[in-house]
Every structure is written in C-alpha cells, then in structure tokens.
Amino acid sequence: MTRKEDVISQILEAFAANPYPGDAFLQGSFDGCEPYDEVGAFVGKTDWSKLDSTMLDSHYCALSFFSEGGFRFFLPAYLIADLREELLTADPLFHLWHGFATVSSEVPVGSQTVRRDSGGKSLLNPKRHGAMTWGDYARHRLSVFTREEAKAIVAYMTYKREHDTMGLDKSRIDAALNEFWLDRAENAPSREILVAHLKEEERFTAALQRRQEEKQ
C-alpha cells in the first residue's frame, strides 16, 4: 500500500521549484464573472505551500477556471490538502480523471429523458471547439506537467485508488492512468529539459535586445 506521507513528500519535491505564473496569467476562462471571482483569490499568492486548506476549499471552482499555468502551480496545494483529508468540497481528483472516463447522466426534459455523456470520445462543444473531444481537451490541459510532476500525480491517484473503499472512482482512475498519466509519467519532458529551454529562450531574447540596442 502507498503511504500518504511518501506521496506528500513526492508532491512537495516535484512541484517545489515551479515559478509563479504571474498575476495576469492565472485565469484561463473568461466566461462570465465567476472565473474572475474564483481565480482572483489567488492573485499574489506566490507560495502555494502556505495556502490554507479552508481557503482552497472555499474556492474549489478555481480548479476549473485556472489557466494551464495557474492549474499547474496551485494543484499541489489541493492534492496535499486532499491527502490530509482537509477538503470538504474541492475535488482535485476529478480534474485528473475527467475527460478520460465517460460519465453519463439522464436529464428529464419535459416528458422525455435525455442521456448526456461527457468524457472520453464525446464531443466537447462543436460550436466552439469543432471536433475536439473531452479526451482531447483533457490531454491538452494536463500536458502542462513535467515528467516528475506527472509521477507525483500518479502516486496521488494510486493512493486514492487504493483507499477508495466504496469503489466509486477506481474505474475512472484506471481509465485516466491507462490513457494518459502512466505514459506522461514516463515520457513527458523532464524538469531539466524545461529549465534548459527557458535559459535558452532568455539567451535568445538577450541577444535580440543587444542587436536592437546596437542599431540605435
């Protein structure tokens, strides 16, 4: 069985060095005022490890409205709070399997009942996203994590699976692990590759700036 404290230590190590995305780059959705209200609570919070679980729980919807960078930066705070059983409403696990496991519901519409599917190969929203499926969207959003971060997420999901005594999420976790996370944990770009790329971009930008200054 996976030990809780081992998973927490792995999360802390994998995410500790992540830079804060910046106040202007936390919000990913701009539909209505709710995204701003939810994500706005995280503006200026440059150290995710110091966030109170009560604050995280009261802004559980932010997990749906963060930009990819914001989601990557603040997710570990939610994961650790969840492992410590400090969350009453927020469900970070949902955001890691949703899109890979198909979820169906029966919705009464007048005298009829309509079946609604989300996840997997179901279309997301053809008017806005064309032929993109829920699985396509999940892969895009979750590809923000490095190899080390994905390994920590796999450890978290494995722990949640092992302790799912009612079996509510096991099949959903399995679908996400098999379709995305296990491969991500082995083949995603590593933290070292990310750091090297950023340094190269900085050198390139500095060279361009020098050339511009020489022309003036």
| pLDDT per residue as tens digits for the range 65-120 | 999 999 999 999 999 999 999 999 999 999 999 999 887 767 787 788 777 777 78
Q: Report which of 2, 53, 50, 38 is spatially closest to residue 158, judged by C-alpha positions.
A: 2
Name the pTM for this structure: 0.90
What is the percent of the chain with per-residue pLDDT over 70, rounded to a whole number?
A: 100
State the chain's mean pLDDT as an integer. 93
Q: Which residues pair with 109 in a beta bridge?
A: 112
pLDDT band for position 2 (cuts 50, 70, 90): confident
Which of 12-16, 35-39, 128-132 has maximum average pLDDT? Answer: 12-16
Question: Encoding tokens for residue 45?
Answer: 């919070």
116-168 per-position pLDDT tens digit? 777 788 888 889 899 999 999 999 999 999 999 999 999 999 999 999 988 88
